[in-house]
Amino acid sequence: MVLKKLIQGSKFDRFFRLMLNFLAPSYYNATKKIKFSEKTNFVFICYGGLGDSIMTFPFLIELSTKYPVTVFIDNNLKATRHLLNKNIVIKNYIKKDIFNELKKFQALNSNFILIQQSPIMEFIFFHFSLKRPPTIGFIYAQNIINTAGINIENKKNTSLNKINKYNDLLTVILSIENKAINKFYYSLVENQFKKLHYKDIPQNQYYILSATKNYNWKMGFLDFEIYAKLIIKMYEEINLIPVIVGTKLDNIIINKILKYIPKKIKIKNLTGDTDIKDLIPLIHNAKFIIANDNGIHHLSNFLNARTLTLYNFSAFEVYNWPNKNSEYIFNPIFKCMPCIGMETGPFDNHPFKCPWDVRCKNTISENDIIKKLGVLSWIN
């Protein structure tokens, strides 16, 4: 993992991933075969950030109603278990120990299929640690569902959108035994969280602003002053409490926003004061959520809350949710937009150095956001 951080995004990293992906078909030819049955356990490794994990949850929830499912979740995201149903067996891991955890699982289990969520090279090592089990998923490319050790015809040209992509994968898996898709996870969420509240914040009298991205990224958010102007205009025109959320590390960004805001404006700044379990009722009872393309955006959409996502560098076609409450703004003023999300090859969704000093940070204004909220009738 340390070596990955050192070379990530370099020319060597890109060459190595391409080469490994080129050799992957030969490697997967040695995959074990399996006799498929209703007792076959599907294994899924959530690898990535909060958003990457949550985008897979509707798929995992539905799959778990048909077959046993074991999900490995990063220990930093262990609170996301509250979003999954009781059918799913959850194994938490620490990234530096993930290979050992997979080996332990393999030693105790034999009849399982690995679901590969991405063609990135890490999954080849995960697969090897599990002693080459049968595999289904996005093994060589993001737009093709492949199998290894399972006799199913490959499905090409899956949806560009990640949520729909997992639905395509679910359809392929369930077609093995002609099982139907229920798509029930919204009702599960509604029943589970509708009575929860967060402390003293009155229900439906506030909106949430998530103005950050992963602290390692220099992109993925707007100019700081735009968020400040949005909060000021919303305060002057609408009687809603602004609630700001983020991690402790996000305070660096949030403080740069707050310096533009007059002290007379009352803000509920919860940056660093909420975990995922706290965020669930907070999001569920908000009037609406404004977020960048980040983990909060995905959590909010999973909860089917009114969510307005601000896209500048990433592809809305890929990362937006196909919900009736999911809305977005994307103003592709520059030809380089979007620069993340459209590749189908074996690469991580990782930050890189923008040659134009992240010029897309000024492609959405506070007026664009307020106008959109008005058109949606989320504000009066």
pLDDT at 286: 94
3-state secondary structure 74-112: EHHHHHHHHHCCCCEEEEEECHHHHHHHHHHHHHHCCCE
pLDDT at 171: 92
pLDDT at 347: 75
| Cα–Cα dist 244/227, whole Å | 11
| Cα–Cα dist 235/257, whole Å | 15
pLDDT at 28: 95
| Cα–Cα dist 63/60, whole Å | 5
pLDDT at 195: 64
pLDDT at 257: 97
User: Are the C-beta atoms of 67 and 38 separated by less than 8 Å?
Assistant: yes
User: Are the C-beta atoms of 81 and 73 separated by less than 8 Å?
Assistant: yes
Across the chain, how many H-helices and E-strands are there? Answer: 14, 12
pLDDT at 351: 64
Amino acid residing at 247: T
Q: Which domains does the chain have, with CATH numbers?
A: 2-183 (3.40.50), 193-375 (3.40.50.2000)
pLDDT at 343: 84
175 φ, ψ to 5°?
-70, -20
| Cα–Cα dist 159/101, whole Å | 32
pLDDT at 322: 92
Exposure string for 337-351, b = 16+ CB within 10 A, e = fewer: bbbbbeeeebbbbeb
| Cα–Cα dist 63/148, whole Å | 19
DSSP 8-state class, residue 177: T
pLDDT tens digits in sequence order for the chain, 380 residues long: 555 565 666 778 888 888 988 899 999 998 988 877 778 899 999 998 999 999 999 999 999 999 999 999 999 999 999 899 889 999 999 999 999 999 999 999 988 999 999 999 999 999 999 999 999 999 999 999 999 998 887 788 899 999 999 999 999 999 888 888 876 666 666 666 666 777 778 888 999 999 999 777 788 999 999 999 999 999 999 989 999 999 999 999 999 999 999 999 999 999 999 988 889 989 999 999 999 999 999 999 999 999 999 999 999 999 999 999 999 999 999 999 999 988 888 876 666 788 999 999 999 999 999 999 999 999 98
Amino acid residing at 78: K
pLDDT at 154: 78
pLDDT at 100: 97
Residues 210, 214, 219, 225: what is their CA dihedral angle, to the nearest 10 degrees? Answer: 40
